Structure 1
């Protein structure tokens, strides 16, 4: 990806000397002259030697240490396609280059110049100019030989290039300079493990644990060695205490535990651990879980793509504070990029900071008035502040700009649902369901709102169709069971089928939605006491959760069931989906 070209005239002297010395042996006519005409040969040799002496004297004169104020002995070329880099990254490079020149001109100590070269190397490293980074780190190590970071970073680059012997030498040098660094030991151990040198790797992992007893990477590394040696019990002893320490590490630990239990023939325990990672994309486990030098390297990355990825990952994980930090940095470093500012506004909105979010989104819309996502975020801000009409207008505008924006339709559906406009809500969810093949929550609310609007036949038909696609969706199944138990059309009601479908579902961890559905089925099958018991379970959970509308609905239903009547609607307008556990009520004996 580009090379850092710097040269030093003094370093050319031995090279030219060797080239000149070999020159005489490489010219056939010179050899012939040596044997044929000694006098002529003598003159040639004397002339050549005299020329070499002159060259070397000239080079020697030019190879004295540069005087203060002179130009740097090293010339650094800008990386390829430099003008295409983001402004913040180019400014970063310019500052590093200026610092190098300043230190050299001032005749600064070698260690200070070495540190500046190391910083330049880190710039090349993080922005993927590995050859340039390797050369800059080498210069840093020459001038600042007591700093362990420079060989450490050279080791990282060598690993990426597949030069494992060079990497091992570099990590060993770093380890000698930093005897209390666990990261250097872990990286060396990982190299040995890759080369099947498990004994040496084990010693290095143990050395890392002596420095840092809670080092996750070292513990996992030792467990991998135990598994290679067919020692599953030892692996389990290593791995079990590590669970829960690091979210990124848990998936890998569950996988290794699954392998260990499988070796022992303990199939159920193996299946339990492997189920924790089934179908999941596990992020790679860091080579060294505690790596301050790597953290320093990553911290200088001002690439908006990098910061945006970090912000989006944090947002997906629900860490909105971290998301706002990264997306805010990206927006500040690239103030002309409207999409980066919109990302920042979305993170602020998720934190509930609506004033700051509005300020950012208004600036975004001044920059890019036709950015559909900005209008989507504005709609979210207006909803948060209870401005329903403004929210609707913003979301409709987003859909005008991008008719395929499903998030805008979802928000519109929720907005109409919240404001009691059920027909509009049904229309929004219906569009999502058919046009975008949405499943799960959208399909549920489409059918639930049809039910609340009294359109039971349409709701049941939609559910039957949806369950052909998503046969394992328990929420859709429970809503269908409710309609079969309590539809307003006697031709739709089928209490026996409702009971059969309900019995096929697990009730090991019955939640409020399940409990109220079971109560409806019991009431429809003339089992009033059973209906009352289930509804009481749901009511107790709702009262504990303090969900007012749902609690009032449950109380009304409890009265109906105690009078041996069924509920008039399987789903009411103000009803909410509650899937919190509904624990069994205490028996009279246990309450004494």
Structure 2
């Protein structure tokens, strides 16, 4: 469509949105073409590009896009929220919080932005936690649960939604059921999608995810084993469609781990990490598997290191890394990770106790 109508910015914009979860560089390139055509009309085009750049830590480029829109409309609340997020990503938590406090009042005063309270409050909770204000952070997080999922005005994508049918509708409904923990309904919808659209990568991935969730070791389903087998078959089929699907590799690794096929799971996690080096949960799951099941001590330590390097404020990663280092009597190294989790969640008694015990052992 873009080649047939190169003057219509909606086509590279929609192409960019389609690339968003698959290839960040292709996504940004398509959105840049859209911005070159559309400019600030509609604002969603430039803002989506800015948000993709933020997601990929291309912060100076993101700032350029946000400032361009701000010059045209300094009151755009989505732009202002993105600027607060930019401050957070640059490590200026206090500036981020100051901007969010002002924005919160603006959002409350404009009913058309009522669904954006959740985005703001989640960012506020994260920022307060970084500032060591854990109780306030938890209040902000709890308040965010009272708000619906955020949605900004996006005329181009609204046109797509109006015509939404077929596969996308199935996937959206399946995803909604999954998020609401209505797993049987999710599986039913996604089975229909997979049957009607057998070449769909995501119908297989999402169906497999729901089957894994209900086939996990803690599941009480009588057909738990069969669910995992079905999930494995679906994910192997998805990899025949796209051998480099990181999501397929990750989910297949989870399923194989649940089946007790630990070496297979390790290899799959490593393939996913090779394709996406900053995949925090792949590093984290790999670390647990290597430590608890494969008993590869150094491999587990390397994987824990990869997890906290990919996400420096990953609380679970730092805590379990510290626990493992304690078991190895590497108390000084463990202490630094426990200090990190206590800094991030200062009211957490488990974390404070772990740090105290680590320091006690160093003194003995």
Find the partner of 1:338 among 201, 207, 213: 201
Aligned counterparts, 1:279-290, within 5 A: 279-283=144-148
Take 1:276 and 1:403, find their aligned partners in 2: how far apart are those partners?
A: 29
**Which ranges in structure 1 are unaligned for 5 or more consecutive residues?**
1-80, 85-273, 285-300, 494-592
Question: Aligned pair 1:319/2:182, yes or no?
Answer: yes
Question: Aligned pair 1:405/2:279, yes or no?
Answer: yes
- 2:315 match: 440
Higher RCO (C-alpha 8 Å, min separation 6): 2
Residues 413 and 428 of structure 1 are in contact (CA less than 8 Å); yes or no, is this contact kept in structure 2? yes
Moved runs in structure 1, 4+ residues, more than 6 A? none
Residues 432 and 438 of structure 1 are in contact (CA less than 8 Å); yes or no, is this contact kept in structure 2? no
- 1:449 match: 324
Number of residue pairs matched? 202
Note the C-alpha offset of 1:359.
Answer: 1.5
Change (3 A) 1:415 1:438: farther
Take 2:189 and 2:214, find their aligned partners in 1: how far apart are those partners?
A: 14
Aligned counterparts, 1:168-207, within 5 A: none
User: What does the per-residue CA deviation read over 1:305-335, in whole Å, with 9 as the maximum and x for residues that have no partner?
Assistant: 3332332233334332222223323333322
Find the partner of 2:241 among 350, 364, 367: 367
Residues 422 and 453 of structure 1 are in contact (CA less than 8 Å); yes or no, is this contact kept in structure 2? no
Take 1:467 and 1:376, find their aligned partners in 2: how far apart are those partners?
A: 30
- 1:425 match: 300
User: What does the per-residue CA deviation read over 1:513-553, in whole Å, with 9 as the maximum and x for residues that have no partner?
Assistant: xxxxxxxxxxxxxxxxxxxxxxxxxxxxxxxxxxxxxxxxx
Instruction: Provide TM-score, normalisation by structure 1.
Output: 0.32
Residues 444 and 475 of structure 1 are in contact (CA less than 8 Å); yes or no, is this contact kept in structure 2? no
Take 1:385 and 1:363, find their aligned partners in 2: how far apart are those partners?
A: 18
Take 1:370 and 1:277, find their aligned partners in 2: how far apart are those partners?
A: 38
Note the C-alpha offset of 1:378.
Answer: 1.4
Q: Secondary structure in 2 aligned to 1:278?
A: helix
**Which ranges in structure 2 are unaligned for 5 or more consecutive residues?**
1-10, 15-138, 150-163, 216-226
Change (3 A) 1:339 1:275: closer
Residues 315 and 344 of structure 2 are in contact (CA less than 8 Å); yes or no, is this contact kept in structure 1? no
- 2:102 match: none
Q: Secondary structure in 2 aligned to 1:375?
A: helix
Take 2:180 and 2:297, find their aligned partners in 1: how far apart are those partners?
A: 32
User: What does the per-residue CA deviation read over 1:60-79, in whole Å, with 9 as the maximum and x for residues that have no partner?
Assistant: xxxxxxxxxxxxxxxxxxxx
Residues 413 and 426 of structure 1 are in contact (CA less than 8 Å); yes or no, is this contact kept in structure 2? yes
Q: Secondary structure in 1 aligned to 2:178?
A: helix
Take 1:281 and 1:424, find their aligned partners in 2: how far apart are those partners?
A: 42
Take 2:305 and 2:322, find their aligned partners in 1: how far apart are those partners?
A: 9
- 2:334 match: 459
- 2:255 match: 381
Take 2:351 and 2:250, find their aligned partners in 1: how far apart are those partners?
A: 28
Take 1:276 and 1:371, find their aligned partners in 2: how far apart are those partners?
A: 32
Note the C-alpha offset of 1:276.
Answer: 10
Take 1:475 and 1:279, find their aligned partners in 2: how far apart are those partners?
A: 25
Take 1:303 and 1:282, find their aligned partners in 2: how far apart are those partners?
A: 29
Take 2:306 and 2:330, find their aligned partners in 1: how far apart are those partners?
A: 17
Change (3 A) 1:315 1:474: farther
Residues 302 and 330 of structure 1 are in contact (CA less than 8 Å); yes or no, is this contact kept in structure 2? no
Note the C-alpha offset of 1:390.
Answer: 0.9
Note the C-alpha offset of 1:480.
Answer: 0.7
Instruction: Tell me how large the CA RMSD over aligned residues is.
Output: 2.7
Q: Which has the larger radius of gyration?
A: 1
Take 2:242 and 2:249, find their aligned partners in 1: how far apart are those partners?
A: 10
Question: Aligned pair 1:278/2:153, yes or no?
Answer: no
Change (3 A) 1:390 1:275: closer
Change (3 A) 1:429 1:314: farther
- Larger helix percent: 2
Question: Aligned pair 1:482/2:357, yes or no?
Answer: yes
User: What does the per-residue CA deviation read over 1:452-477, in whole Å, with 9 as the maximum and x for residues that have no partner?
Assistant: 11111110122223322332333321
